Structure 1
Amino acid sequence: MRLISLPLGLIVALAPTVPAPADPVPFTPANFSAAKVVFTDDFHTLDVGPGRTWGWQTGAYQDCVDNQHDFKLDHLSESALSTTGGHLTITASPRSDGNWDTGLLTTGDSCDTGGDGTEIRTGDLIMAHVRLPAADSGAWPALWSWRDGQNEVDVFEWQADHPGTLEFVNQVHTGTGRYTNATVSADRWIYIGARLGADNTTWYVGPSLDHLAVAYADHSGVGADFAAYPVLSLSVNNGVYHPAPTTGTPISFSVDSLTIYRPAPTGLPDS
């Protein structure tokens, strides 16, 4: 994700913390089985490159591969991406110049490195099953959106120094929140998603699709004509607003599914 206005550390400092019960009661199960899927990837193979599903660079970064001005040590590398083990793993590793080789996937605005042009649009639900990094400093995984220098919604961001908290930002309109819960922790698989409504964007978190909680609702939405490319990334903090890595141990972030439903499944609460 690229910071458009306030630095992330300041955004998070100002964000409301959304209270969450220790054992959230699941809502009436949404009808995922009947929902229309317009895009899905279970990452059994790595489909990256021109003419393929994903590209590995992004126009959101200042030169497509580096993003130091957004408080990151990132240097994007296709070699940081792997599907060994039946899911996507992005691995960040230290470089001799002080930056870190790491990875990113996007379906568009990829600096000609690939992508099939799939967009998330108003009314969609985007849902990912991810394993947060087993790290206590430096790691900054995220699922977000980007198109034409804007249209950014952070479906989630996670910082290793706050392992029990997810961060959500709607940079199209106004909306910034945090969700703290025992289901969120380092080295744990979790479902995270967002329903992109015209007037209200709602974020969902849970251990399974039939046990999701409403994590945050911004009551501002993305407007009637929102469209942007999904982006999966593992960034590395440079120490300004969150600690940089304290060791040179590689950091990994895993994803075993990313799905876009259009429209969002029935039965989902939106506030």
Structure 2
Amino acid sequence: MEQTASDSPPPSAAGRYGTEAVFTADFTSTRQWVAGRSWAYPNGGPVNPDDNKLDHLVADPAYCRSGTFRATRRPDGRWNTGLLTTEGSEEAFEVRTGDVLEARVRLPRETGAWPAIWTWRDGDQEIDVFEYHPDNPDLLELSNHVRGGSLYHRDPAIGPGAWIDLRVEFGGGSVVWWVNGGQVFADGQGVGRDWHAYLIVNLSVCAGRYHPPPDPGTSEMSYEVQRLVVLRPLARPEAVDEGDG
């Protein structure tokens, strides 16, 4: 469902009290990020066929450490894919209730590409900052899997190869998404007062159940994350209702 101006929630705690940057992504940093494995995948990876993915995670820095997340076709039909997560890293950074994530990404062009920025912890706590599939060229998928609430957001500015600015506030009572500077969705569900989760940035490859697989002639695909930063409110008054934990 589309959010209208009259439906917009009041200003958030982050907006009223100001923020500070608590995490600025340096994809080259092995202190911030672990490459090529994630407990969001069975046994930490490298494959995840139950989610209809052709992924075979690799730790090769050429697939993720430059901020360009790549996938290349393997002889066995799977795809070597790039993934970074803060889970298990030395810093082990987690986003938490009230934080705001901002990112600038270049969407992939190739059919079968499945880029995403999302959160994960202990088999759950998933918020999809965005997902994208080039076969739906003008559509971003924005989802709260913690408490429910999602939107298929369509915009002519969204398309294969396009640069997109994203902003998501992980509110206790509502997760709020902005795309290219405009608010597009407030789910009215939120994440609860005590929510926290790790970050994942990756490029998956579709196996064909939900979206078409790569074209037979495609051997490589990529998308780029130019910037990713997490902002945290300077004050968290107890009077602010963030929902139940």
TM-score bin (small chain) = 0.7 to 0.9
Q: Distance in 1 between matches of 2:41 and 2:98?
A: 27
Q: Distance in 1 between matches of 2:106 and 2:113?
A: 12
Tell whether the 8 Å contact from 1:195 to 1:264 is kept in structure 2 after alignment: no
Residue ranges of structure 2 left out of the alignment (5+ in a row) = 5-13, 236-245
C-alpha distance 180-264 of structure 1, shift in aligned 2 (>3 A): farther
Across the aligned residues of Structure 1 and Structure 2, the Cα RMSD in angstroms comes to 2.3
Match of 1:9 in 2: none
C-alpha distance 62-264 of structure 1, shift in aligned 2 (>3 A): farther
Q: What does the per-residue CA deviation read over 1:205-261, in whole Å, with 9 as the maximum and x for residues that have no partner?
A: 10xxxxx01121100100001100011010000001100001333000111111000
Q: What does the per-residue CA deviation read over 1:147-178, in whole Å, with 9 as the maximum and x for residues that have no partner?
A: 11111111110011112110011111010111
Match of 2:7 in 1: none
Describe the SS at the equivalent of 1:184: coil
| Runs of 4+ residues over 6 Å off in structure 1 | none
| 2:73 aligns with one of 67, 88, 94 | 94
| 1:39 aligns with one of 19, 23, 33 | 23
Tell whether the 8 Å contact from 2:99 to 2:169 is kept in structure 1 after alignment: yes
| 1:230 aligns with one of 199, 222, 232 | 199
Match of 2:238 in 1: none
Tell whether the 8 Å contact from 2:134 to 2:160 is kept in structure 1 after alignment: yes
Residue ranges of structure 1 left out of the alignment (5+ in a row) = 1-15, 21-29, 207-211, 266-271
Q: Distance in 1 between matches of 2:197 and 2:124?
A: 9
After TM superposition, give the deviation of residue 264 of structure 1 in Å. Answer: 8.6
After TM superposition, give the deviation of residue 139 of structure 1 in Å. Answer: 0.6
Structure 1 counterpart of 2:33, which letter?
A: W
C-alpha distance 264-140 of structure 1, shift in aligned 2 (>3 A): farther
Match of 1:107 in 2: 86
After TM superposition, give the deviation of residue 202 of structure 1 in Å. Answer: 0.5
Describe the SS at the equivalent of 1:36: strand
After TM superposition, give the deviation of residue 66 of structure 1 in Å. Answer: 1.0
Describe how 1:180-195 pairs up with structure 2 within 5 A: 180-195=154-169
Tell whether the 8 Å contact from 1:125 to 1:264 is kept in structure 2 after alignment: no
Describe how 1:118-157 pairs up with structure 2 within 5 A: 118-135=93-110, 137-157=111-131
Q: How many residues align?
A: 222
Q: Distance in 2 between matches of 1:115 and 1:129?
A: 25
Match of 2:54 in 1: 73
TM-score where L is the length of structure 2: 0.84
Structure 1 counterpart of 2:219, which letter?
A: T
Q: Identity over aligned residues, as a percent? A: 40
Describe the SS at the equivalent of 1:262: strand
Match of 2:223 in 1: 253
C-alpha distance 184-19 of structure 1, shift in aligned 2 (>3 A): farther
| 2:133 aligns with one of 138, 159, 172 | 159
Describe the SS at the equivalent of 2:50: helix
Tell whether the 8 Å contact from 1:201 to 1:217 is kept in structure 2 after alignment: yes
Describe how 1:167-246 pairs up with structure 2 within 5 A: 167-206=141-180, 212-246=181-215
Q: What does the per-residue CA deviation read over 1:92-135, in whole Å, with 9 as the maximum and x for residues that have no partner?
A: 00011111000111111x4xxx3521111100101111111122
